[in-house]
Each structure stands twice: as C-alpha cells, then as structure tokens.
Chain A
Amino acid sequence: MGIKMSYKIAIASSDEKMIDESFGSAKRFLIYEITEDGYHKAEERIVNEGTGKQQSEISQLQNDSSKQGCSPNADCGTGSGCGTGAQSGCGSGTGCGSSHAVSEKVLLVSDCRCIVCKKIGFNVQKQLERKAITSFDVDCSIEEALQKISFYFSKIDKHQSLRGFRN
C-alpha cells in the first residue's frame, strides 16, 4: 500500500541514554531511523569545528541529495544562503559568535524530520523551521522521546485524532 513511512530523528546526547546536550554545544548527533516496525540507531554525525573540510563535506552532501531529486533537500541550497545571512547579522552581536557553526549544524541534520536536544536557540529553531524540521527541547531519555515522537508522527501521518493523547 503505497509509500513506506520512514524518517530520521537527530538527537543530541553525550551518553546515548539521556538527551543532555544543547543544540549549540553538541559535538555529534545520533541519527535514529524510524520505520513502521520501530526505530534503530542508523548513524552518528560528528560536528567538525568549522573547518574548510567540513564545509566541503556538507556541500558534497547537498549535491548528492539534489541528484536524488529530493525536494526538501533542494530547499537546502537556499537554506545555506539563508544561513549565511543570519550568520553575518548575528556574528556582529555579542555571544553569538558560534552562529557560523550552528547553521552548519542545521545543514548537517537537514535530512532529518526532527531534532531533539536539551535546549535550542530561537534563531536556530527558525532556521530549522524554514526547512520544515521540527525541534523539541526536552529533558528526558532518548527512549522516551523516540517513543513519544514516533507515536505522535504516526498519528499525524495517518490523519488520526490526538484525542486522549496524554492518557
């Protein structure tokens, strides 16, 4: 019956148990793949600290995905332009120096459906929103988060009511 539902969730965690890192300080993202049968850890993406190599890797990634003709990734191209815009605006402010790295991080997880971390800044949240990526800042275990999010998305995807969702 049609398309198989499968998507990725990026999680910022240092110990692979609890969601304990903020989006800005995360050194790596755990990527979980959610299918109709459940979820499993698919890969780990390491954040390189703004080196030239990192940049090229990302653009490579973009090219690869645009070849596949995947529309959300096609948005990525404009997204990076947007990222630089925000970064130049933000770079001049105080305490916002890492915004360059942040928008790279956004690209790093741009094929995911949502990001789960302990804290996330407003600016990044907006950048993710523009790519239709949901962000959740929560304080709980990875297992709990994945269960709740996958249950929620499955309901949304099947156009089912959320009535009594919390019970």
Chain B
Amino acid sequence: MSQILENPRGGCVLAGINSVLGAIDRVCPVFHSGPGCCMQTSAAEQGQSGHKNSCFVSSVSLPSSNMLEREVVFGGIKKLRTTIQGAIDIIDASAYFVLTGCTAGIIGDDIESVTEEFRNKGEEVYAIDTPGFAGDSNLGYEVVWNTMIDKVIEQNVEKDDKLVNIFGIVPYHDPFWSGTLEEIDRILSLLGLKVNTFFTKHQGIDDIKKCSGAALNIIVNPWLFKGPAKKFEEKFGVPSLRIPGLFIGATDTTEFVRAVAKELNLDGELVEKVIAAEEDYVYNYLAQAIGVVSFKRFAIVSDANNAVGLTRYLANDFSFTPVLVVISEPLFRQEDKDRIVERITDLEYATPPKIVFASDQYEINQAILNEEEEITLLIGSSNDREVALEKDIQFILASFPMSERLIFNRTYAGYRGGLTFTEDLYDNL
C-alpha cells in the first residue's frame, strides 16, 4: 500500500468515522486532533457528496482539542478533558464520540480512560481510538460499527423477529445513501418488517443500543462489513444476509425481496403480493415511455456496490451493452474481488464487461481512453467527467465524489430508484 493515488476518492479513517457519526441523529463527534482535521475530514466526505451536510454538527462546528506542540510534549489528555466537558456543556447531544487524529494516534494519548471518567459520571462519551492514518473512509464505517458492537449496543435485548438492521450503505460516501435507505425501508416495511436504517427517520443512539434484538442483519454491499458482521453474530447471535451489490430496478430488487423473505420465513402470499404490486408500479411507467432512450454501450466508474447495481440494471433490465466497469475503491481481499466479478459477469444474456480495479485517476482515465471497444455512455463521478468530455460521449454523474448535483432523497436503488435512474438516463443525453 505504498502507492501514491491521484485524486483519491474519500478521506482517511477519521473522515469516514466523522461522516458516519454525522448521519446518526444527535450524535456529536469530538476530535482529539490537530486544528484543521474537523474541516478537512468533513470536506473530504460530506463536502463531495451532493452538497448535503450533517446539520447537527459538522465541519467547523465540531469540537476539537486542537493539539499543538505543547500537547505532543506534555500530553493532550488535559486539554481533551476540557474539550469534552465544553462539548457536553454547549452541544445538546445524546452521545459523544472521541476520535483520534494522526497526532494523537502517534503519541498514544490514552483517550479510553478519559472517556471512562465521563461515563462514570453518567455522560455518554465513547472513545474510537483509530487514528486517521489507519486506512480509508470505508474502514471508518466498519470502525464505527465495531465500536458500537464493543461499547454501545446492549446485550440481552428482547428479540423481535420482525426487526432487521440494514448495513453496507455508507452515509455520504454513497451520495444517494439517505434515499437508498428510505427505499429499502419502504420495501421491507411492505413485507411487515421493522427496519433499522440508523441514519434516516431520526434514528439515534437509542435505536443502535437496541439493535441487537433484530432477527437479521442485511448487508447491502458486495464486500464491506465482513468483520463487524462476524462480531455481531458472535456477541448478539444475529445472523447476516449479504446482498452482493445494490439492487437497482425490478429484477434485482425482486431477487432481494425473495432472499430476505426466505431468510426470515415470511408469509409467501404476502411477499408475492408485494412483488406483484411493486413490479406493476414500475412496468406501468416503463410501458408509457417505450423507446425514448436509445441503445448505449456503457462504461461505469464507481464503488463496487453501485457498480454492481448499475451494470446489472442496464444490462439485464435495459439491454444495454456493458463494455467496461472500473471499481474505484481500494480492495484488498481477493475473495471480495471475486464476489464482485462474479456478480458483474453473471448477466442474463449480455457479454460480460471488462472489469478493472483501479483507484488512481490516471489509471482510470487510461482504462477508459484505451478501451478498444466503442463506449457511448459513461457513468461515473465528478472526477470522471473530464474523460467523458474528451471522448465526447454521454455522461451521467452517479457516484462519489459528486460535486455538481444536489441530492436530497434521490436514489437509484430499489423499484422506484430504477425509474429515477431511467429518467436521468434521458436527461443527460
């Protein structure tokens, strides 16, 4: 991992942790870091995610101990203690999480014992001792959940066989996160399930504490959340169902619904009724605009989750030809890559696309420019607009980082998301 990346997508672990915590209602991160980390980590994730920012605290409003040379030489614990107390006095949050920047991580300040002091006084203050340099923002998502599993989620919660937890959609790192979670919530609610999305519906720390009572963890991601899922099952006995990639459009979403129904032994009649109604909703609209979108040969540059969903929707449901898929997030386990490749190449009738794992912008651009087969549509991030202009082909901005769109509840996931994506396919001609 000693490579240099041009235009890395996302930030450090701290950035990931910050944006995940920022999406949980009334949770306040407290930075034990140098001055600048609050703003930079917010800019790296929330600032590039469809102009949506955490509105409780984010960026310059985050409390920080602002470590300088004095804190390095004499230790920053004293200053951290006053910073936490200040945050408790001023910000009315239901929980505080102390995060470590690189400086604190290197010198090894003992933030665990400081947070314990506050917990002994009855305040909800937890430590996340993972310094910024430990990895990227995807790791931040896992780190937050590992901390929740270790310190926050309660044991011996009464089991609820209709309750499910959704994991794998990373707030802000996926610009469509809130809309996606809402669509998943909507579909599963139709099946009579209660859904913990944790980041929508003003769900907060209390919902997280009780989530061990769930019947199933649903991981909507081809690779993320492996460690936490295992830990969750070992500690709370909640099994996991991995959906290897986002489901976009009717075909994959129906497959998702059936997978969840099978895992939870849901009433088959109800499930089929829901599927029929939802598919009717989708196809009724599609039937009203047959042939408005012309045939395309497409390439995708995206994180694995969206890449799987978009490729499968366009190839299976829309009969477009997949040419090239670039997975732009750094992946380290071969099994993860295999799972992604399997999902993208297992298409109904289309010839599987070429798949490239590249995070470096130069490599990504080269992969697209040097592709021998014709490409007429590129779906990617703001970083990839340039190469689309160079090739003079249609471009859809649909992955992180996304700086030229405003995204509230828009999503491409699920039944309705498929329709939204089709609309965008037309808009960007």
For A132, list chain B residues within 8 Å (CB): none
For B157, list chain A residues within 8 Å (CB): none
Identify B73's interface contact among A152, A161, A167, CB under 8 A.
Answer: A152
A136 touches B107 (CB 8 A): no
For A148, list chain B residues within 8 Å (CB): 73-74
Q: Which residue on A lies nearest to B107, using beta carbons?
A: A165
Provide the bound-state CA to CA distance between A165 and B73, in Å: 8
B333 at the binding interface (Cβ < 8 Å) = no
B82 to chain A, nearest CB (A): 13
B110 at the binding interface (Cβ < 8 Å) = yes
B106 at the binding interface (Cβ < 8 Å) = yes
A86 at the binding interface (Cβ < 8 Å) = no
B74 touches A136 (CB 8 A): yes
Residues from 31 to 86 in B contacting A, C-beta threshold 8 Å:
69-70, 72-75
Provide the bound-state CA to CA distance between A166 and B108, in Å: 5
A165 touches B72 (CB 8 A): yes
B109 at the binding interface (Cβ < 8 Å) = yes
A134 touches B69 (CB 8 A): yes
Q: Which residue on A lies nearest to B77, using beta carbons?
A: A166
Chain A interface bracket (under 10, 10 to 19, 20 to 34, 35 or more):
10 to 19
Residues from 119 to 160 in A contacting B, C-beta threshold 8 Å:
134, 136-138, 140, 145, 148-149, 152
Among B75, B108, B110, max chain A CB count under 10 A is at B108
Residues from 18 to 53 in A contacting B, C-beta threshold 8 Å:
none
A166 touches B70 (CB 8 A): no
For A137, list chain B residues within 8 Å (CB): 70
A3 at the binding interface (Cβ < 8 Å) = no
A81 at the binding interface (Cβ < 8 Å) = no
B248 to chain A, nearest CB (A): 45
Q: Which residue on B lies nearest to A161, using beta carbons?
A: B106
Q: Which residue on B lies nearest to A139, using beta carbons?
A: B78
A23 to chain B, nearest CB (A): 14
B69 touches A166 (CB 8 A): no
A136 touches B108 (CB 8 A): no
A93 at the binding interface (Cβ < 8 Å) = no
B74 touches A163 (CB 8 A): no
A85 to chain B, nearest CB (A): 25
For B70, list chain A residues within 8 Å (CB): 136-138
B69 touches A167 (CB 8 A): no
B107 touches A164 (CB 8 A): yes
Q: Which residue on A lies nearest to B105, using beta carbons?
A: A163
For A166, list chain B residues within 8 Å (CB): 75, 107-110
A140 touches B74 (CB 8 A): yes
A1 at the binding interface (Cβ < 8 Å) = no
Provide the bound-state CA to CA distance between A149 and B69, in Å: 10
For B107, list chain A residues within 8 Å (CB): 162-166
For B73, list chain A residues within 8 Å (CB): 136, 148-149, 152
Provide the bound-state CA to CA distance between A117 and B70, in Å: 12
Provide the bound-state CA to CA distance between A137 and B69, in Å: 11
Identify A164's interface contact among B69, B75, B108, CB under 8 A.
Answer: B108
Provide the bound-state CA to CA distance between A149 and B72, in Å: 10
Provide the bound-state CA to CA distance between A163 and B103, in Å: 9
For B72, list chain A residues within 8 Å (CB): 152, 162, 165
For B74, list chain A residues within 8 Å (CB): 136, 138, 140, 145, 148
For A136, list chain B residues within 8 Å (CB): 69-70, 73-74
A165 touches B69 (CB 8 A): no
A91 to chain B, nearest CB (A): 29
- With contacts A136-B74, A138-B74 known, is A162 near B69, CB below 8 A? no
Provide the bound-state CA to CA distance between A156 and B108, in Å: 17
Question: Quick one: CB contact mask for B93-109 with A, threshold 8 Å, 1 for yes?
Answer: 00000000000001111
For B110, list chain A residues within 8 Å (CB): 166
A33 to chain B, nearest CB (A): 19
A9 to chain B, nearest CB (A): 12
For A167, list chain B residues within 8 Å (CB): 108
Provide the bound-state CA to CA distance between A45 and B126, in Å: 47
For A152, list chain B residues within 8 Å (CB): 72-73
For B69, list chain A residues within 8 Å (CB): 134, 136
B107 to chain A, nearest CB (A): 4
For B75, list chain A residues within 8 Å (CB): 166
For A134, list chain B residues within 8 Å (CB): 69
For B108, list chain A residues within 8 Å (CB): 163-167
Q: Which residue on A lies nearest to B70, using beta carbons?
A: A136
Provide the bound-state CA to CA distance between A167 and B70, in Å: 16
Among A134, A161, A166, max chain B CB count under 10 A is at A166
B42 to chain A, nearest CB (A): 27
Provide the bound-state CA to CA distance between A25 and B108, in Å: 34
Provide the bound-state CA to CA distance between A136 and B73, in Å: 9
Provide the bound-state CA to CA distance between A80 and B110, in Å: 42
For A161, list chain B residues within 8 Å (CB): 106
Provide the bound-state CA to CA distance between A136 and B69, in Å: 8
Q: Which residue on B lies nearest to A164, using beta carbons?
A: B108
A165 to chain B, nearest CB (A): 4
**13 pairs, A vs B, C-beta closer than 8 Å:** A136-B73, A137-B70, A145-B74, A148-B74, A149-B73, A162-B106, A163-B106, A164-B106, A164-B107, A164-B108, A166-B75, A166-B107, A166-B109
Known A-B contacts: A140-B74, A148-B73. Give 8 more (CB < 8 A): A148-B74, A152-B73, A162-B107, A163-B106, A164-B106, A164-B107, A165-B106, A166-B110
- Listed from nearest, the 4 A-B pairs whose CB atoms lie closest are A165-B107, A152-B73, A166-B107, A166-B108
Residues of A within 8 A of B (CB): 134, 136-138, 140, 145, 148-149, 152, 161-167
